[in-house]
Amino acid sequence: MNKLDNKKTSNMSLKEADYLIDSITERLDQKEAIDRKIKFFLDIRGYLKVNSIKGNYIEFGSFRSISQYGAYKILDKTGTINKYVGLDTFIGEPRPTKEEKLHHPYDNVGDFSCSYSKVLSFVEKAFQGKGVVIKGDFRDESTLEKVKKYTPINLAMIDCNLISSIEKAIEFVFKNATPGCAILIDDYFTNFGKGEAIIQTTIERITNSSGWKLIEHSFYPPVAKSFILSR
């Protein structure tokens, strides 16, 4: 009970307070940007297995395919996922419209570029035949056509920054999801540059016209949020 004694905390010296805050920060703070994604995979694995939610894993904005590989390592034992599919342009952030730049001023054109050939080599080596990499801008129908063979979707990671990319990814998942599909939107609490919750508004609009119910699942600091699709 002494650990919960506010009186003890209020009587701390500056040195003691520094030590306490620093030790708690070290224990709780994310060490890597991928932390929240790994936590999501760990949280969702039991749900997928117990409910036998089967399909394919799709990641929009897979970059170097490290989180895609995390999904494979953690979730393949559940027996619920056929293929692990990553989509990316591999040339970095696309050029935003003026409106998108107002909503999301943080990133720059070309950020997150990487070698497609190196990523493909990594996926071919690491996934034992279950990994797929698709190169292209998934705002284009020609790119999405290549993804349709890997549906239905039972788990989706949407990790892109521009609202036009997020919108296209959500629309594709909603059209090709299996009931019970879980979704992590890694940049849910971004695009607040104009003080508007533009991603939430976009998701609500798509949900209302889709026939799906969107059930809130969890929050993964600092900006990610997960959901489950239900009929």
> Which residue segment(s) compose the domain that 49 sits in?
32-230
Do 20 and 98 have their domain in common?
Answer: no
Do 161 and 226 have their domain in common?
Answer: yes
Tens of pLDDT, residue by residue over 64-105, are 999 999 999 999 999 999 999 999 999 987 777 778 777 777
Do 130 and 226 have their domain in common?
Answer: yes
> What per-residue confidence (pLDDT) applies to 9?
64
Do 70 and 148 have their domain in common?
Answer: yes
Do 112 and 159 have their domain in common?
Answer: yes
Q: Would the pTM of this model clear 0.75, i.e. be above it?
A: yes
Tens of pLDDT, residue by residue over 161-178, are 888 999 999 999 999 999
The number of distinct structural domains making up the chain is 2
Do 18 and 64 have their domain in common?
Answer: no
Query: What does the chain look like in DSSP terms, one character per residue?
Result: -GGG-HHHHHT--HHHHHHHHHHHHHHHS-SSTTHHHHHHHHHHHHHHHHTT--EEEEEES-TTSHHHHHHHHHHGGGT-EEEEEEEE-SB-SPPPPHHHHHH--S--TTTTB--HHHHHHHHHHHSTT-EEEEES-TTSHHHHHHHGGG-SEEEEEE---SHHHHHHHHHHHHHHEEEEEEEEETTTT---TTS--HHHHHHHHHHHTTT-EEEEEEEETTTEEEEEEE-
Do 147 and 81 have their domain in common?
Answer: yes
Do 222 and 156 have their domain in common?
Answer: yes
Do 135 and 168 have their domain in common?
Answer: yes
Residue 51 belongs to domain with CATH number? 3.40.50.150
